[in-house]
Every structure is written in C-alpha cells, then in structure tokens.
Amino acid sequence: MAGRQLLMTFPVTATSHSLAEYLARGGYVALAKTLREMKPQDVVKEVAASGLQGRGGASFEVGRKWQVVQYDDGHPHYLIANADEGEPGTFKDRWILENNPHVLLESMLIASYALNVRNCFVYIRGEFDLPYRRLAGAVEEAYAAGYFGRNVLGTDFACDIVVYRGAGAYVAGEASGLIASLEGKKSYPRNRPPRLTVRGLYQQPTVVNNVESLSNVAGIVLHGAAAFRTVGTAKSPGTRLISISGHINRPGVYEVECGYPWMKFLEEDCGGVPGARPIKCVVPGGVSSKVLTGAEIKELVLSHEALWDAGSTMGSGGMIVIAEGTCMVSLLQVILRFYHHESCGQCTPCRHGTGWMHRIIDRIVAGGGMPDDIDRLYYVSKFNDGTTICGLGDAAGYACTGILDKFRDEFEYYIEHKRSKYGGSLECLKSS
Amino acid sequence: MKHLIPEFEKLRERFPTGFESSLVLPCVRRIQEDRGYVADTDIVELAQYLGIPQIQIEEVLSFYTMFRRKPIGRWHLQFCHNVSCSMNGAENILAHVERRLGIKPGETTPDGRFTLSHAECLGSCGTAPMMMVNQAYHENLTPATVDALLEELK
Ligand SMILES: Cc1cc2nc3c(=O)[nH]c(=O)nc-3n(C[C@H](O)[C@H](O)[C@H](O)COP(=O)(O)O)c2cc1C
Ligand code: SF4
Ligand code: FES
C-alpha cells in the first residue's frame, strides 16, 4: 500500500458498489451530518480549510473555486462532476464510478447543499459502458432511498441529478467545452472571464469539479479538514488516485498518499519494469504533463509541489512508465497525432499548430525529416503557448517540448540516419 | 424517430425546464442505437420536436466521433492506438485483425459484418491493448483472444 488511503478503503467485490454495502461502510452518514448540523457556509469553509486540490488536471483548490459562488445571488446554480476522463493514460475516475459510485453521489449532494444547487450533473465520457451502468444504477438506488428528490432525509433540502453521456471528444473534458456539450452543442471551449462560477451552464453560476476531487468531500465533511490534512504533505493534503500503465509489471489504479516516494511506488507497489529494464522516463500525469527522466525521478516524492519544482505536474494522475529502449520519436508521433485529432479547430494557433506539428513528426518518422525540424517543433510549441482559448493548444506544446528537451539527440539521430535509434519500437515485451 | 418520442418525453422530465437543447446528445444517441445511424429525416424531426435549429444537430453529428450519418457493419471494432496501447502491442493486434478481415481502419467487410476503426485513449490503459466492440470494452487483447472473439461475432 502506498501510504494511507482515503478512497480505496475496502475490498472490491462483485457487489461492493451497491448502496447496501456503501451504507454498511458508513455511507451517507456525512450527508446526514451535513444536513442536520452544518450550515452551507460551514461546508464551504471546511472544504477550503482542507486544502483539497482539484484532481482533474490543474490542481486548483476546490474550496477557492467554491468560494466564488454567492449562495444567495438569486440565480440557479449548477454543479457538474467531470467524468470525461479523456487524458491519455488516465483511468482512475473509472475506478470510483465502477466500484464506489455512491461516494461521488453523496459528495455531490453535500456540495449541492453547500453551493445552493438544485440540479447537478455527472458528465461521463460517451464510450464508458460499465462505469455508466454502475453510476446510473447507483442514481436509481439513491433516488429510491430518498437521497435525491424533494425533502432529502426529511429536510427542506431538494436536489436532482442527471447522468449525461458525452459522445467522443477529448476537448469536452475541458470545463467550458463540457458545458457547451451539456447544452447539447459541439464542445467548443470559451474564453474566460467570465469564470464558469459566474457564468456557466445556461449562463448561470456553475461549479465543475473532477470526480475524484468531489469524492473526497464526504470524508472531509465527516472527519473534518484537520483530519484530512494529517494525510499527505502540507502543500498536497490527502491522496491521489494514480492510474499507471505502460512498461510496468502491475498496471492499474493505486491510491497514493501525497509525499510517498516515487521509486518505492514504482518498484514495490507496481512491481517494477518488465525484465527489470531501467526506466527511461515517466509521463507523470497524463500525456499533457512533461515527461521526467529516470534520473530525475529517483529522489522525488509524489506531491504537487515536488512535481512542480521538477518542471512538471501530477496532472490527471495518469502515469505512464517508459522503459529504456523505447523510441521517443515514435512516442511523440502518437502524442502529436492525438492532439491534432482532438483540436476543436476554433483557435488558429491550435488548429494549424497541432496539424503542423503532426505533419513534421510524420515526416521525421517517414525518414524525410529536415535538420531544422526540431527547431520548427519548438517554434510551433512556443507559438501555441498562451495564445489559445483552452489548455489543449498549450498541452500539445508542453508534451512536445518536454520530450524534445530531454531526448533531442534521438530526434537528431533519426533525422540524420532516417531511422530510429531504437528500431522505432514502443513495445517492451513482458517476457524480455 | 417519431416512435421514440414517448421515451424522449421521459428523458425530458429528468432535466430542469429550459434544458431542451441539452436533449440533443441523448436523443441523437438513442436514434443511432435504434437505426444504426442518424438519417436526414431524423435531424428534421428532432429539430422540430426540441424546437432547436437543425444546424445544431448537424454540427453535433459532425463534431463527435461516436455519431454517424451512414450505416456501418454489425460489429464495430474500435482499436485504441494511443500511447499505452501502442506500448503494449496494439499495432500487432490491429495488423493481425486487418489481415484476418482483409480491411483497413475506416473500412467495412463486404458482408457488412465488421467495421474497423482507430480510437484514441479509451481509459483502459492499464489493461492494454484494448478495443471496443460496439459498446463493450475488450481488454488485455492477444491475437488468440481476438480470434476467439471474432468467431463469436456473427
Ligand atoms: C483539453 C482538456 C481536457 C480535459 N479533460 C478533463 C477530463 O477528462 N476530466 C477532468 O476532470 N478534467 C479535465 N480537464 C480539466 C478541466 O478543464 C477542469 O479543470 C477540471 O474538470 C476541474 O476539476 P478539478 O478542479 O476538480 O480538477 C481538461 C482540461 C483540458 C484543457
Ligand atoms: S486551444 Fe485548441 S482545442 Fe482548445 S479551444 Fe482552441 S482550438 Fe479548440
Ligand atoms: S491508451 Fe489505449 S486505452 Fe488508454
């Protein structure tokens, strides 16, 4: 176990997602406590005091986002759980949706009470099948038990929920793109300000939080912010769900206490790299985060501050381990193809930039790379940075420069010799 | 589409009032499940039913990868070719399936049984390589498990 756990606290069985078992684990006690003992402002204060940071990618403090919402401004407010989970390498929200959907629902009820929300939504990626069925089943159970609807638990509090299915667009995971999608339109992100907490869904104040961020709320309210802060580090309270894949013996979802040593996690918890190959680099938190080399991560712990100091981020918790012998040129090709495919096309730098980068990397892989192509990739990456509406354009550039900064020689080799230094392979056979 | 209106009415009840526009995605999804694709007549009828412009539905259909305006094969095989799947042999599995079915991504077998596509990361990276067959996820694929599966899909 990678430190203390707050979310993966029970053995997963064929029925552990059910309401009955959630109740047996102490479920919906936090909701009862909230409705009976706490004022809405107390809940917001407690969540702010916990220092809980967003788990969707940007690590923005949840409480600070909530504090923007004016409880009594006379507008309807909306709350949306972001279950789009599209960042390549990320599959951790799926664990909550499949195995503990009620902790999300209970937390959303508490958040709705705190933020004066009558209608809340879960936006779940369109391809998810089992996670959707588990979540939809939990919603039915929760309605039947009186947790949603009017007079929740016999109080004046009323709340309804809709599970909304996406339709296949990475950019719909971006909060404003998500809102456009939930309004039944193509998911074009929009410029801020105004912030979504001021003008969001149908122009009303809206809070969008990641599934895992929200799922921490029930525990924070039940045990208090101080208890939450005893877990993790001062600057990264709590735990992170990390989905790990790539060249690793035991891929899967792990709950890691912030501050846990990175190499210990990889070697002891995840069983190390197949064939005990050295680690070439790691994608820390989804392909939009900059890679860190095996040497760079040696002494690091897993915390927001440690990764920021190292020039990267915990991002979405989607960790990909890349073993020595992997061709970084081919890897970057996959990543740049992805961004090009997913750009919504609204902003010129992103629309053209991702296409341009994709064509350059394709040309390099095909053996037609030019000596100044590396500089060209840097140029386009820098041009995207900060000039686009949403983070996708920036992310394409970060992912690209992150790899070029550390593995430039491989690109030079490929361009000069018209072939990969490592046979072009991304695979690291488990048996080797 | 019209026979689905009773279902759409139930769906509408779950949303707050004034959310008609939000019904586009769920209704389009249901129409596609029913017909296999979304026909031009569906667009006209849905726009009328929801009181929204047709262009909004057309944009949605062209924007999202899950929607289509033409029929495809009975079994839609969508192979993830993003990072973690590529690192775990997705290319080999896909090449194997291409050989076996005699089609490339974007194509349908002449008997209308299979359509092959690429997909981006489907949130299954820990159980790579993976593909979707219609709505179901199939994970930890090997040539042998794929062969067995293709036999079953008639
Ligand atoms: C291109 C793009 C895709 C994103 N995809 C997701 C996603 O799938 N899930 C998610 O929770 N956040 C995603 N985000 C981040 C959201 O915009 C937003 O910051 C987040 O949902 C807020 O929740 P949090 O503060 O609780 O993390 C994405 C951002 C960008 C720029
Ligand atoms: S940065 Fe790219 S994905 Fe984001 S809004 Fe602009 S064009 Fe669309
Ligand atoms: S890379 Fe294939 S499911 Fe994520």
CB contact under 8 A, B121 and A185: no
Task: Tell me the pLDDT of chain A (432 aa) as tens digits.
Answer: 899 999 999 999 999 999 999 999 999 999 999 999 999 999 999 999 999 999 999 999 999 999 999 999 999 999 999 999 999 999 999 999 999 999 999 999 999 999 999 999 999 999 999 999 999 999 999 999 999 999 999 999 999 999 999 999 999 999 999 999 999 999 999 999 999 999 999 999 999 999 999 999 999 999 999 999 999 999 999 999 999 999 999 999 999 999 999 999 999 999 999 999 999 999 999 999 999 999 999 999 999 999 999 999 999 999 999 999 999 999 999 999 999 999 999 999 999 999 999 999 999 999 999 999 999 999 999 987 788 999 999 999 999 999 999 999 999 999 999 999 998 889 875 443
Cross-sheet strand order for the sheet of A318-323? A252-257, A239-246, A318-323, A279-283, A292-293
Measure in Å the smallest separation between the Cα of B59 and chain A Cα atoms.
6
Asked if A160's CB is within 8 angstroms of B14's CB, the reply is yes
Nearest residue in chain B measured CA to CA from A344: B63
Ligand nearest to the CA of A390: 2
Q: What is the pLDDT of residues A271-300, one digit of tens each?
A: 999 999 999 999 999 999 999 999 999 999
With residue A413 as reference, give the H or E element that holds it: helix A391-417
**Residues B40-99 pLDDT 10s:** 999 999 999 999 999 999 999 999 999 999 999 999 999 999 999 999 999 999 999 999
Residue from B121, B132, B133 whose CB has the most chain A CBs within 10 Å, to mutate: B121
What is the identity of the amino acid at A284? P
The whole-model pTM stands at: 0.97
A229-278 pLDDT, tens per residue? 999 999 999 999 999 999 999 999 999 999 999 999 999 999 999 999 99
**So what's the pLDDT on residue A429?**
54
Nearest CA distance, B63 vs chain A (angstrom): 6
CB A378 within 8 A of CB A221: no
Among A392, A426, A429, the residue to mutate for chain B (most B Cβ within 10 A): A426
Is B32 within 8 Å of chain A by CB?
A: no
pLDDT recorded at residue A383 = 85
Chain B positions in Cβ-Cβ contact with residue A85 (cut-off 8 Å): 123
B84: closest CA of chain A, how far (Å): 5
Residue range A47-94, pLDDT digits in tens: 999 999 999 999 999 999 999 999 999 999 999 999 999 999 999 999
**Gap between the Cα atoms of A428 and A366, Å rounded:** 22
- The minimal CB distance from A334 to the residues B82, B126, B132 is found for B82
The verdict on a CB contact (< 8 Å) between B87 and A426 is yes
Which contacts qualify for A227-233: CB closer than 8 Å, 24 or more apart?
A228/A6, A228/A50, A228/A51, A228/A52, A229/A50, A229/A51, A231/A3, A231/A4, A231/A6, A231/A257, A231/A258, A232/A257, A232/A258, A232/A259, A232/A303, A233/A258, A233/A259, A233/A301, A233/A303, A233/A305
| Minimal CA separation from A167 to chain B, in Å | 5
Point out the residue among B14, B63, B132 whose CB comes nearest to the CB of A162: B14
Q: How far apart are the first and last CA of chain A?
A: 27
For position B57, what pLDDT does the model report?
98
Nearest-CA residue for atom 7 of ligand 1: A173
Pairs across A and B, CB distance < 8 A:
146
> Cα separations (Å) of A277 from A31, A310, A324, A407, A429?
48, 23, 6, 18, 11
Measured in Å, residue B109 CA sits from the centre of ligand 3 at: 25
Q: Which amino acid residue places its CA nearest to atom 6 of ligand 2?
A: A347
The answer to whether A250 and A271 are in contact (CB under 8 A) is yes
At B118-148, the pLDDT tens digits run 999 999 999 999 999 999 999 999 999 999 9
Instruction: Tell me which residue has its CA closest to atom 8 in ligand 2.
Output: A344
Contact at CB, A168 and B65, closer than 8 angstroms:
yes
> What pLDDT does A431 receive?
40
Tell which one of A352, A390, A394, A398 to mutate to probe ligand 2, the residue whose CB is within 8 A of the most ligand atoms: A390
Residues having CB closer than 6 A to ligand 2 are A 171, 189, 343-347, 350-351, 388-390, 392-393
Q: What is the Å distance from ligand 2's center to A314 Cα?
A: 22
Q: Say what the pLDDT of residue A424 is.
A: 86
Structure tokens at A344: 């919504």
Tell me what pLDDT residue A386 has. Answer: 80
**Average pLDDT taken over every residue of chain B:** 97
Q: Please give the span between the terminal C-alpha atoms of chain B, in angstroms, as a whole number.
A: 27
- Distance from the alpha carbon of residue A358 to the mean position of ligand 1, in angstroms: 24
